[in-house]
Chain A
Amino acid sequence: MIHVHELTKHYPDLRRGQFEALKGISFHARPGQIFGLLGPNGAGKTTALRILSTVLRPSGGSATVNGFDVVTQSTQVRRQIGYMSASTAVYDRMTGWEMVEYFGRLHGIPRKELSERMESLFERLKMNDTRDVLGAKMSTGMKQKVSVARAVVHDPPVLIFDEATSGLDVLVARALLETVAELRDHGKCIVYSTHIMREAEKLCDRIAILHRGTVLTEGTLEEVRERHGQHDLEELFFQLISQHDQQSLEHFLSR
């Protein structure tokens, strides 16, 4: 469903020249699975997901979503995905209902069908209390629910969540994780980025650990644990990152 091959992205940077946010990452995500993209802050997770959602263009390599290329067929890709970014915000001067309806209509869903779908979605996500509340007056939890509803209202085959639980309290975060798991059970291909290991352990079928723009390891949780001989994911995460930083330092000193 999602194929990422040798994807690179660099930004012009006054101090460092070209800053390489992604250094040729590759992974695959399949339908009915949650693919976890794990990494510390600044690892390149958001950049990778922005490329998949066609908001950014890659500098090299390729990525396809449901067979469509993210660069040359960006419009088709956007029809296949529901994207919830880390900085997801809602419109201050629109109600929850209006916002979800707006994005549903941008996806070309007929008005009547959209209305029925939204009734069911608002019921399922328990967000009838946000129906007539303006974005400016919503709590963080309400905003997050509206963002999820907006991302799934057109029933896309691929869902991209970028640190969806950041800033949420335990109750709302748990409800959101349950919703994501539910969506996986409905056969969606989900890419979920996080730096919280417990979330990944609980939710993801496959993971990739990303650090400084490089995929350090990739596979199912069992495969990764077995490959590196470490059962605890958090320990494994520290171990891989420390090794990578050590190697980078040695490489730098040897030059």
Chain B
Amino acid sequence: MKLANVKLIFTREVRDQLRDRRTLFVIAVLPLLLYPLLGMSLFQISQFMHVRPARVLVVGGRDLGISPALIEEERFAASLFSHPKEAERLKPFFQASQHVGQPPPAVAGDPAQPRAAVLQEEWDEARSLVQAGAYEAALYFPSDFSARLEEFREAIILRREAFAAGKAVDGAFSPDVPQPKIFYNSGNEKSLIASVRLTEVLRRWTQRIGDENLKAGGFSVRTARPFTVDTDDVASRKSREGVKWSCILPVLLLLWALTGAFYPAVDLCAGEKERGTLETLLSSPAGRGEIVLGKLLTIMLFSIITAVLNLVSIGATGWIVLSRLPGFGLPPPVALVSLAIALLPMAALFSALCLALAALARSTREGQYYLMPLLLLTMPLVVLPMSPGVELNLGNSLIPVTGVALILRSMLEGEYWRALQFAPVVAAVTLAVCLMSIRWAVDQFNRESVLFRESERFDVGLWLRHLLRDRRPTPTVGAAVCCCVLVLLIYFYLGSFFDVPKSFGGFARTLIITQIAVFIVPTLLLTFLLTTSPRQTLLLKWPSWFAIPAAALLAVALHPAVHLLQLLVQRLYPVSENLRPSLEQIQGLINQSNFWSLVLLIAVVPAVCEELACRGFILSGFRHLGHKWRAIIYSSLLFGLAHGILQQSLLASLIGVVIAYIAVQSGSILPGMVFHAVHNTLAIANTRITPEVFDQWPIAKAFATPGDGGGCTFTWPVVVGGTLVGLLLLSLFARIPCPKSPEESLEEAIERGQHADKPLEAEKAACGLATDR
């Protein structure tokens, strides 16, 4: 790659963008004007803003005659609010109950039925008034509420007097005080707020009535509440203000970085296609990688400028407007520095994603349609980390974008050490995703169908006919992706149908149905529908004589290291409390089952089903990408994802790489199946090893020690020795001259040709030509 060309392309694109009024408006003018305008508008609007009090219908509660009073001077008593001014937020409207002065209504079925009907009528009326929005809430007091409460208090006094006189006292208070009732409409936000306020007022009132009752009974108020809890906020003022900024700044920064990347990306790719200048650039000596990098750096620059200008504008507006609001100060300077540092990888990531997406678009108009799906995918990753329940830990730091947002939040909250602790992990994940996105963008620039895509009417019938008519011996990359999506969708929907099995029979049934539905059905369906050679697609052929025993030996040799990794993963990512009971129940069923039944069920069945899907159809499809290792990694990621639980997925992805490598090198699915079956069998066998085994054969302690949760843990010499043997076996697989797809042969020939100064026709003719992928 010639950096001089990258620099040239970058300089040209920057100059081009700076001469574009639309780009300049979105990047520079909009952020500098937007926030001050918003701030000014806020000031203006605030003059006209006032809190309208919530209307509360109070039925039968105007003159309760209870001390302390709930209503004073036609309002809720100011002393029942945390701040007296808050009393203005609830405005009572009074209505007399038809029951006032009457005996209490009886329960249904009693001779007193007519009175109950009147009561129901009053409730219905209050309910319908709230439903219709005439009142935000209604507070209903039963007709005999005051009288019963008074009787209750008198009973306390009588008890106190009887107690003082040394007389015997009845065991229970009678009668009970009837409940007041609040009607509200949770579908209406104002009503919901009114009900919360009203509930709090009644809670305080009830508490005060209780205090009065205690006094009437001759007890101190402290009888019920012997102490109060004092709180002391140790956060500095800056830290408190930082918390507020920590919710706003990362979201705004990341969203503007994305928006700032998107518009230049559309103009630089789709716009160039539309204007017809892309073909000229592609026929220049600049390589596709150089073109992509030059454009990527331009998009990154504009993404960073947009985000920074937005931050500056927010900072300036915040300094003038928000800092006057209580609890809002200036964001801490260290946090601003960390925002600037985090901006770089985020801008790179968003720019690469936008570039690859924009390359797909035929025109700038089509490109702009892609913004919304990208925003919908990115928004949860940006916004969710801002909720209090989400913390910066190893699991979350592995999620792209979310990890960066969490680091930013920690920095803004002053948790610098914690942020630094996870910064390397987040940086590694972000870098990996960046590189993958850049690779994707370069791939888009190598695809003729993307670069020279012309508008054609899409017809489902034609497309289906094309799929069946133009089949090839092995699946296309698109077919492999389709299989991956089907596998994951079926896995997801099927999971919701099955409960945790309670017997071994249920467990076996669930597992077999899942394996067939998730892996076998889509694989065989797509193989027979979309390919002409199921044998070639599913790698159904005999490998060289040593591949099968070598694969079995490889599984044995790698088992100690895999087991150690499994323990490490479990320690790093403990299974959640919600999931633990289900897993323990399944583990219990496994422990009680016959070993050979388990081998058949957990080792043999998945080895056949999962291998046919992942190392058969999907790997064969991805081989058309032209890079063996990319095919191996993509198929392994799907293998990992199809294991559902994070702890299993991580390890399955790693093992998937080994199995896929064996399948590619041997050109057969059988060694992979054998490896898979042996690996799973050893995992089952390990759980069956009990401490008694070590007592029976003390020599076993030289190789392994009893594990904490059952099974055994291998000693370091065994782990290292096994790994070395494994590497040796893998090197033997590496020596097999593996069959290559036409695309892989072509890519290798191109790789050699780019470094040669003389013609390489012979080599190219030998590898055959691959067309657009």
Contact = CB atoms under 8 A, between A and B. Distances in A.
A64 B761 CA distance: 8
Given A73-B760, A103-B284, A106-B8, A85 B279 contact: yes
Interface string B431-474: 00000000000000000110010001001001101100110000
Given A15-B462, A72-B764, A94-B12, A106 B286 contact: yes
Interface string A65-102: 00111011111101101010101111111100010001
B419 to A, nearest CB: 42
Interface in A2-36: 9-15, 17-18
A165 interface: no
B753 A107 contact: no
Interface in B373-390: none
A163 to B, nearest CB: 13
A244 interface: no
A107 B12 CA distance: 15
Interface in B71-116: none
A91 B771 contact: no
Contacts of B470: 12, 17-18
Interface string A91-124: 1111000100011011110000000000000000
Nearest to B5: A106
B179 interface: no
B12 A14 contact: no
Contact of A62 (B8, B753, B761): B761
B20 interface: yes
Contact of A78 (B285, B456, B758): B285
Contacts of A134: 19
Interface stretch (B297-305, B728-736, B744-752): B744-752
Q: Interface size for chain B: under 10, 10 to 19, 20 to 34, or 35 or more residues? A: 35 or more
Given A69-B759, A69-B764, A72-B763, A53 B769 contact: no
Contacts of B746: 71
B285 A150 contact: no
A4 B9 CA distance: 32
Contact of A67 (B463, B759, B771): B759
A75 B752 CA distance: 12
Contacts of A150: 280
A56 interface: yes
B277 interface: yes
A108 B761 CA distance: 27
A58 B769 contact: yes
B275 A89 contact: yes
A83 B282 CA distance: 10
Contact of B757 (A17, A76, A87, A147): A76
Contacts of A58: 769, 771
A54 interface: yes
B754 interface: yes
* Residue of B448, B752, B770 most packed against chain A (CB within 10 A): B448
A56 B447 CA distance: 9
B45 interface: no
A93 B758 contact: no
A contacts with B: majority SS: mixed
B463 A92 contact: no
A71 to B, nearest CB: 6
A87 B454 CA distance: 14
B contacts with A: majority SS: helix
A10 B449 CA distance: 12
A24 to B, nearest CB: 13
A181 B222 CA distance: 109
B283 A56 contact: no
A50 B772 CA distance: 14
A215 to B, nearest CB: 19
A125 interface: no
A42 interface: no
A14 B760 contact: no
A36 to B, nearest CB: 20
A247 interface: no
Interface in B36-64: none
A162 to B, nearest CB: 10
B765 interface: yes
Interface in A189-238: none
A76 B756 CA distance: 9
B276 A89 contact: yes
A14 B463 contact: yes
A149 to B, nearest CB: 12
Contacts of A131: none
Given A57-B769, A92-B275, A150-B280, A72 B20 contact: no
Nearest to B20: A93
Contacts of B769: 57-61, 71
Nearest to B750: A72
A168 interface: no
B543 interface: no
A75 B20 contact: no
B68 interface: no
A201 to B, nearest CB: 28
A87 B759 contact: no
Contacts of A88: 276, 279-280
B315 interface: no
Contacts of A50: 279
Contacts of A71: 746, 749-750, 753, 764, 769
A72 B760 contact: yes
B532 to A, nearest CB: 14
B443 to A, nearest CB: 14
Contacts of B276: 85, 87-89
Contact of A14 (B19, B279, B456): B456
Contacts of B161: none
Nearest to B467: A14
A74 B286 CA distance: 10
Contacts of A94: 12, 15-16
Contacts of A12: 449, 466, 470, 772
A63 B750 CA distance: 14
A30 to B, nearest CB: 17
Contact of B12 (A15, A85, A102): A102
A74 B771 CA distance: 15
Contact of B772 (A57, A79, A89, A102): A57
A61 to B, nearest CB: 8
A64 B759 CA distance: 8
* Residue of A14, A15, A68, A93 most packed against chain B (CB within 10 A): A14
A42 to B, nearest CB: 13
B761 A89 contact: no
A67 B758 CA distance: 7
Interface in B251-288: 275-277, 279-280, 282-287
Nearest to A107: B285
Contacts of A93: 15-16, 19-20
A71 B760 CA distance: 10
Interface string B278-321: 01101111110000000000000000000000000000000000
A8 to B, nearest CB: 9
A105 B764 contact: no
Nearest to B272: A91
Nearest first, the 3 closest Cβ-Cβ pairs linking A and B are: A72-B753, A89-B276, A93-B19
Given A57-B448, A89-B276, A105-B8, 12 more contacts: A10-B771, A12-B772, A17-B469, A55-B283, A56-B452, A57-B769, A58-B771, A62-B761, A67-B759, A83-B283, A89-B280, A102-B12
Interface of A: 9-15, 17-18, 50, 53-62, 64, 67-69, 71-76, 78-79, 81, 83, 85, 87-94, 98, 102-103, 105-108, 134, 147, 150
5 contacts: A12-B772, A57-B771, A72-B754, A83-B283, A106-B5
